[in-house]
Amino acid sequence: GTVGARAKLLITERIMTDGNETAYTDFSVTMDGEDSACDLISRSVAKDNSHQEFRSVIKGNTRCTGHSECDAILVGNGTVSAAPELFAGNIDAALIHEAAIGKIAGEQILKLRTLGLTEEEAEEKIIEGFLVG
């Protein structure tokens, strides 16, 4: 889509796949309006043998700000591909992309286990907090 002058686009998605599911995200935003802005935020969890692909393209053709963020947790044999792309067509376009993919840290699970949760319950709580956050 195209973002006009002084307009702001905010897209937030939360995805969880499991089994053999596949999820595709493909955002493409062009900012042609002066002082426009966009935020594309994805948080996802890929469990079991599932696969996810995240692609975002932000084009800044004028004075604007753009931000793309993809954070994903892998569980089991889940896989995630993140491909953020930025194009600045104006010296005053300020564009940022961030991507982080990884497993749940062992110390997070250990901390919750000391509070009486099983490993599975701890993992569920961490995932729930991540997706809500």
- pLDDT (tens digit per residue) in 64-123: 999 999 999 999 999 999 999 999 999 999 999 999 999 999 999 999 999 999 999 999
- Segment 45-66 shows an average pLDDT of 98
Q: Rounded to an integer, what distance in angstroms lies between the CA atom of residue 21 and that of residue 47?
A: 9
| Residues near 28 by beta carbon (within 8 Å), at least 6 away in sequence | 1, 56, 57
pTM for the full predicted model: 0.91
CB environment 12-48: b (16+ within 10 A), e (fewer): eeebbbeeebebebebebbbbbeebbbbbbbbbbbbe
